[in-house]
Structure 1
Amino acid sequence: MRIPWNTLKITGLIICITGLYAFSDRRAERREITGIQVEFVGEDQLYLTEGMVNKLLIQNYGSLRNVPQDAVVLNTMESVLRTCDMVKNAEVFLAVDGTLHAKIIQRHPIGRVAGTTSFYLDDQGLKMPLSPNHSARVPIITGKITGKSLEDVYEILKYINADSFLSKNVIGIHIEDEADYRLKFRMEDFLVRLGDSTDLDRKFKNFKAFYLKATQDQTLAQYREVNLAFSNQVVCTKI
């Protein structure tokens, strides 16, 4: 009887490989988390600290050091981190050395509502709590705060933030009503009446044309109010 050595060799090799994989998997299951590393990604890194992230994890999972790696569900941990009011997005993964890495993107405020309750408005138009660690230098929103007026203010703030001139000079938005938004500029006692939140491109182009002409003529200090609410004209009020 002829012994099929090649077949036996292949079968033995398969058994060995399978055994090695099973052994490797069992070792991986017994591996423990050796530490936690928090990394803040992007420009906004001021409102949330590493200690605050660690505290949130401890509140939900206890001390993670020496916890078996297979006991941690990374997707669930990401969801927990996203429940933090300062977190825009979170990614959690395990490194080969057993370190648990948490990459955090913090939310970005673009305006601050000053009223009975103060809060930020973020770059997605959502309410964001104030941070005990840092106060953002953003336009202050005052006046009649409603759901509709905040939606309009969000559109106005998006336009302002996309424009280098406006983002440097607009320091406040006052809501007189939902059809009368007023912009406060860095220049003392200088007010721009925007009207409603529609046709922003035309209104701000008209304002820039006025501003450039008044600056060239050195007459800007003579004006206390510029009204952009009208369709085809800029109405200015002198001091």
Structure 2
Amino acid sequence: MKKIAAYISFILLIAFLSFLYGFTSNRNNHKKVKNTVVEFEEGDNNFLTHSMVDKMLIQNQKFVENQPKRVVDLHFLETNVSANPYVEKATVFLTIDGVLKTLIKQRRPIARVVDKDSIYYVDKYGVKIPLSANFSARVPLVSGVGNAEEIKELIQLIHIISSDDFFKKEIIAIEKNAQNEYMFTVRTGDYQIAFGKFEEVTVKFKKLKAFYNKALIDGSIKEYKTINVKYHNQVVCTKHNQDGKQ
């Protein structure tokens, strides 16, 4: 008898909990979205504004605020926000108290590419990002690249440049010519760096760094028009009005 009573008590408890869950769930589903909150990953609030994201939170041709929670399609909203070219990752969810939260990680541009008649940013994944009226990223201006393989190579080059604090600030433009050789434009001097093809990259930057360590100290950097690191084991410099080797 005790086993039967315990079994019946267990069944009744399960039934009560199911009823309570169903009742609570039903009440919760009839509640309305009382507010929307947009949060950007720290340091990423650049291209998009909160109001721009709110305009993406549209369902049934209406803004989701004040719509019943039960009709809100979180997957649809998340997909809609993620489709924006400035968004790398988006998460949309509802809190218990009826707040729709949107967490956004924006794409971070690493270069601004001038390609024939178009200008756009690219991120570290090679994804093209349109220019924005809200924000202008301080990244190198790049020309002479366009196809996927060239962008992939460019990303590797910029990654190496960005890993060095000096070169990251100093190199402001990158041009790839018809011979597939790179030329760098710098921030602080009236000269260019002839980097050559994308080969022996680490060695070239080491040579360039060693040259800078000397030329900046003795002030000779001001004399040069071109600093060429294409050749093996040497830095060849062209001076203003005359040629010379360093």
TM norm structure 2: 0.88
Q: Secondary structure at the match of 2:56?
A: helix
Structure 1 pair 105–7 and aligned structure 2 pair: CA distance change class (3 A): closer
1:47 aligned residue: 47
In the alignment, the residues of structure 2 paired with residue 18 and residue 128 of structure 1 have an alpha-carbon distance, to the nearest angstrom, of 49
2:110 aligned residue: 110
Q: How many residues align?
A: 238
Contact kept in structure 1, 2:189 and 2:222, CA below 8 Å? no
Moved more, 16-25 or 183-192: 16-25
1:124 aligned residue: 125
Aligned pairs for 1:1-239 (under 5 A) are: 5-58=5-58, 61-114=61-114, 115-142=116-143, 144-147=144-147, 148-177=149-178, 179-239=180-240
User: Gaps spanning 5+ residues in structure 2: where?
Assistant: 241-246
In the alignment, the residues of structure 1 paired with residue 154 and residue 218 of structure 2 have an alpha-carbon distance, to the nearest angstrom, of 32
* Cα offset, 1:78, TM superposition: 1.5
* Cα offset, 1:204, TM superposition: 0.5
Structure 1 pair 57–15 and aligned structure 2 pair: CA distance change class (3 A): closer
In the alignment, the residues of structure 2 paired with residue 178 and residue 86 of structure 1 have an alpha-carbon distance, to the nearest angstrom, of 33
Residues 40-93 of structure 1 show CA distances to partners (whole Å, capped at 9, x for unaligned) of 113221111111111122377522122222222323322211110111110111
Contact kept in structure 2, 1:153 and 1:197, CA below 8 Å? no
Residues 3-61 of structure 1 show CA distances to partners (whole Å, capped at 9, x for unaligned) of x6555444433332222122122222222211111011132211111111111223775
* Cα offset, 1:153, TM superposition: 2.1
- 1:41 corresponds to which letter in structure 2? E
User: Gaps spanning 5+ residues in structure 1: where?
Assistant: none
- 1:26 corresponds to which letter in structure 2? N
* Cα offset, 1:236, TM superposition: 1.2
Contact kept in structure 2, 1:149 and 1:175, CA below 8 Å? no
Residues 81-110 of structure 1 show CA distances to partners (whole Å, capped at 9, x for unaligned) of 111011111011111110000001111111
In the alignment, the residues of structure 2 paired with residue 202 and residue 170 of structure 1 have an alpha-carbon distance, to the nearest angstrom, of 17
Q: Secondary structure at the match of 2:122?
A: strand
- 2:176 corresponds to which letter in structure 1? I
